[in-house]
């Protein structure tokens, strides 16, 4: 695993925007604001700073995010940082985005109802992303429940 991983917790600043590439790949873009609050040791006053992040989701994650989440929802996002550069009107432009591996609602101050979606079968959907679940066969319908140890905890 590379050292390029990030996890943020914040509020969605705009509804996820779902689009499709010409080849049919779903992608969703959303903004996440991360607020940080601390007390200044010298003055004792509370300080606050907000950082804004663009998050990109792909494939089923994109579709699920756009269907499930909206502006204002507190989320947890894990993924990797990726920088894109381009030229616009003779000026070089650059942006750093989070390419999401996982997006989930934060349950710190909310509840959520989870509904499992049907997996799509298909060819090369994994893309070497590592741990995304794409391209894996669906579990058998009648698998036994996971084994638990004597303390009632799930095994690692």
Is 75 a domain residue? yes
> How many other CB atoms are found less than 10 A from the CB of residue 100?
23
Check which CATH number belongs to the domain holding 89 and give it. Answer: 2.40.50.140
pLDDT value, residue 3: 78
Three-class SS of residue 12? Answer: strand
Is 49 a domain residue? yes
pTM of this structure: 0.69
Domain of residue 31 covers: 6-105
pLDDT value, residue 144: 46
Is 152 a domain residue? no
Is 115 a domain residue? no
Query: What is the average per-residue pLDDT within 106-122?
Result: 81
Q: What is the pLDDT of residues 75-84, one digit of tens each?
A: 999 999 999 9
Is 141 a domain residue? no
Is 154 a domain residue? no
Is 142 a domain residue? no
Q: What is the pLDDT of residues 52-97, one digit of tens each?
A: 999 999 999 999 999 999 999 999 999 999 999 999 999 999 999 9
The answer to whether 54 and 31 are in contact (CB under 8 A) is yes
The domain tally of the chain equals 1
Is 72 a domain residue? yes
Q: What is the CA radius of gyration of the chain?
A: 19
């Amino acid at each position: 695993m590379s050292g390029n991983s990030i996890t943020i917790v914040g509020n969605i600043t705009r509804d996820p925007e779902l689009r499709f590439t010409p080849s049919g790949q779903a992608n969703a873009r959303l903004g996440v604001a991360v607020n940080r609050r601390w007390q200044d040791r010298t003055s004792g006053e509370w300080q606050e700073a907000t950082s804004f992040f663009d998050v990109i989701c792909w494939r089923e994650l994109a579709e699920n995010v756009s269907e499930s989440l909206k502006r204002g929802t507190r989320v947890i996002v894990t993924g990797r940082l990726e920088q894109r550069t381009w030229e616009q009107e003779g000026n070089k432009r650059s942006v750093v985005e989070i390419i999401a591996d996982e997006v989930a609602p934060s349950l710190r101050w909310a509840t959520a109802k989870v509904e499992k979606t049907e997996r799509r079968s298909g060819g090369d959907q994994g893309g070497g992303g590592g741990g995304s679940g794409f391209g894996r066969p669906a579990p058998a319908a009648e698998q036994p429940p996971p084994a638990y140890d004597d303390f009632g905890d799930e095994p690692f």
